[in-house]
Chain A
Amino acid sequence: MQEEIFISGRNIPKIDPNLEVWHFPISLYLFLGGMAAGIIFFAALFTILKREKQVQTAIKPAMIIVLFALSIGLLALFYDLTHKLYVWRLYTTIRIESPMSWGAWVLLFVTIGSFLWVFSYFSEIFPKWEIKIKALKNLERFLIKNRRNLAIILLPLSLILGIYTGILLSAFNARPLWNNAILGPLFLISGLSTGAACIILFSKDHYERKLFSQIDLALIFIELALIVHMIMGMYAGSAVQLEALDILIGGDYTVMFFVFVIILGLIFPAILEGIELLGYKVPVIIPAVLILIGGLVFRMVMVEAGQLTRYLY
């Protein structure tokens, strides 16, 4: 007797066959979280390497952007919650096997760390504002002295934050498009690339812009390679993966993915940054903005297309 006919359990609106629970706020959060992770990574890295002087934008204005990015991202997450009042429950438990738990805790520490970081530069960023309260002044002095230690803590945390934005999706084993091991590194690299683009956008220093253009160019090549890996990995997969892949290479999201992510968000800015490094004059704002838009569209495509993919029955 074929019992499986009885046990279908397939009538779950909004979850099966298609997930319809994550919308734009999630994509926005994944994008902002990844970008913030990228900026924090570079700020911490160059501080540890004792080269802060050469990357003034990365360690000051860009870190202020991080505060906004994290705040807006967290608000977007909060907005998306169905039971908003229970948000504190995420912090009553640590579950090492749950990406969501990792994310909640890492996000908490990264946010606190970033606020402390910006506070340590408060007097440099706002020279006219004198801190009057003694305790705060002492705190600032303490933070300035321990900035390198803060960087050493933030560096691994930023990497975890960047990877987690991808793992959060890839941990869904019921969604074939998400459920691949490349997604974590891919989102991390994409986050680092958008972070570098954001630094380029705000930098006025010629050396710093060139440095981050070079870093960004390398990251774009790695990202393209990872995307090729993802597609090839799925292409070699089972019918479930092939059907999931079809959304990206021959379905509803093909145009978004290839035109706005691959061409306008990666290849074209890479060419522009490349010819700029060769000495031609290109307004940096164009490749930087294209990379940022490409990063956001990439998250939107992955979040929305992933929810459409499913196991076959």
Chain B
Amino acid sequence: MEKTNQKNRHVYWNPYFGGFLLGLLIIFTFYITGRGLGASGAVKSGVVTVVNKVSPEHTENNAYYKKFIDGENSPMNNWLVFEALGVIMGAFLSGAVTGRIKLKTQHSPKITAKRRLVFALIGGLLFGFGAQIARGCTSGAALSGISVLATAGFISMMAIFGTGYLVAYFFRKNWI
């Protein structure tokens, strides 16, 4: 047990301090880009680009994809895509500085790595789908929304985390 604890040791920053920095980052983002942060938007741009490459007619006729196709301009030419690139770079740097760069799956000792990955994938798919219905994810709708005191931001935040707390009960065995 001692050993697994050592292996799953948390070497991250204090979450409240991280949240404080994130808040400063949002102010900075609004100042520089004139708009908020986002995360799921980069994935969406990637998906739209691939679909548009494979079947341009489909994106043309599809009400959802059509919104993001703008003639010559590639959907990848979007601030969120570059922001996501920067996030990957920053994450890699922070991992390097704290000596955490290695391939591993972090999971509860009670479940297998495969189970963790499958559940993460399902969760990610659900969240991505939900984010598109709600027109934004935790970063794009909740975080950026609340920072400009938008009602939708507060509602998103409460809906995302409220549902999380409710549903977590059924999946708690995967962690504790």
> Which residues in A have some Cβ–Cβ distance to B below 8 Å?
255, 259, 264, 268, 271-272, 275-276, 280-283, 286
In the complex, are the beta carbons of B97 and A286 less than 8 A apart? no
> Could you mark each residue 65-102 of chain B with 1 if its beta carbon is under 8 Å from any beta carbon of chain A, else 0?
00000000000010000100100010011001101010
In the complex, are the beta carbons of A259 and B93 less than 8 A apart? no
Give the CA-CA distance A281 to B89 in the complex, in Å.
15
> Which residues in B have some Cβ–Cβ distance to A below 8 Å?
77, 82, 85, 89, 92-93, 96-97, 99, 101
In the complex, are the beta carbons of A271 and B93 less than 8 A apart? yes
| 17 A-B contact pairs sorted by A residue (CB < 8 Å) | A255-B77, A259-B82, A259-B85, A264-B85, A264-B89, A271-B93, A275-B93, A275-B96, A275-B97, A280-B96, A280-B97, A280-B99, A281-B96, A281-B99, A282-B101, A283-B101, A286-B92
Given contacts A255-B77, A280-B99, A281-B99, contact A272 B93 (CB under 8 A): yes
Classify the interface of chain B: helix, strand, loop or mixed.
Answer: helix
Give the CA-CA distance A8 to B97 in the complex, in Å.
61
Task: Name the distance in Å between B109's Cβ and chain A's nearest Cβ.
Answer: 25
Give the CA-CA distance A259 to B85 in the complex, in Å.
9
Residues of A within 8 A of B99 (CB): 280-281
Give the CA-CA distance A280 to B99 in the complex, in Å.
7
Residues of A within 8 A of B89 (CB): 264, 268
CB nearest to A283 among chain B residues: B101
Residues of A within 8 A of B92 (CB): 272, 286
CB nearest to B93 among chain A residues: A271
Residues of B within 8 A of A264 (CB): 85, 89
Residues of B within 8 A of A275 (CB): 93, 96-97
Task: Name the distance in Å between A119's Cβ and chain B's nearest Cβ.
Answer: 39
In the complex, are the beta carbons of B96 and A272 less than 8 A apart? yes
Total residue contacts A-B, CB cutoff 8 A: 25
CB nearest to A279 among chain B residues: B99
CB nearest to B92 among chain A residues: A286
Give the CA-CA distance A286 to B88 in the complex, in Å.
12
Which 4 A-B residue pairs are closest in the complex by CB-CB distance? A282-B96, A280-B96, A268-B89, A280-B97
Residues of B within 8 A of A280 (CB): 96-97, 99
Residues of A within 8 A of B85 (CB): 259, 264
Residues of A within 8 A of B101 (CB): 281-283
Task: Name the distance in Å between B87's Cβ and chain A's nearest Cβ.
Answer: 13
Knowing that A280-B97, A280-B99 are A-B contacts, what are 10 other residue pairs whose CB atoms are under 8 Å apart, sorted by A's residue number? Answer: A255-B77, A255-B82, A259-B82, A264-B85, A272-B93, A275-B93, A275-B97, A281-B101, A282-B101, A283-B101
Residues of B within 8 A of A283 (CB): 101
Give the CA-CA distance A43 to B99 in the complex, in Å.
33
CB nearest to A267 among chain B residues: B89
Give the CA-CA distance A275 to B97 in the complex, in Å.
8
Interface-centre pick from A271, A275, A282 (highest chain B CB count, 10 A): A282
CB nearest to A258 among chain B residues: B82
Residues of B within 8 A of A259 (CB): 82, 85
CB nearest to B103 among chain A residues: A283
Task: Name the distance in Å between B16's Cβ and chain A's nearest Cβ.
Answer: 26
Give the CA-CA distance A264 to B96 in the complex, in Å.
16
Residues of A within 8 A of B96 (CB): 272, 275-276, 280-282
Task: Name the distance in Å between B64's Cβ and chain A's nearest Cβ.
Answer: 26
CB nearest to A255 among chain B residues: B77
Task: Name the distance in Å between B98's Cβ and chain A's nearest Cβ.
Answer: 9
Task: Name the distance in Å between B77's Cβ and chain A's nearest Cβ.
Answer: 7
CB nearest to B86 among chain A residues: A263
Residues of B within 8 A of A282 (CB): 96, 101
Residues of B within 8 A of A272 (CB): 92-93, 96
Give the CA-CA distance A286 to B77 in the complex, in Å.
24
Residues of B within 8 A of A276 (CB): 96
Task: Name the distance in Å between A126's Cβ and chain B's nearest Cβ.
Answer: 33
Give the CA-CA distance A276 to B96 in the complex, in Å.
8
Task: Name the distance in Å between B76's Cβ and chain A's nearest Cβ.
Answer: 9
Give the CA-CA distance A72 to B43 in the complex, in Å.
35
Task: Name the distance in Å between A275's Cβ and chain B's nearest Cβ.
Answer: 6
Give the CA-CA distance A259 to B89 in the complex, in Å.
12
Give the CA-CA distance A255 to B73 in the complex, in Å.
13
Give the CA-CA distance A264 to B85 in the complex, in Å.
9
CB nearest to B77 among chain A residues: A255
Give the CA-CA distance A281 to B96 in the complex, in Å.
6
Interface-centre pick from A259, A264, A281 (highest chain B CB count, 10 A): A281
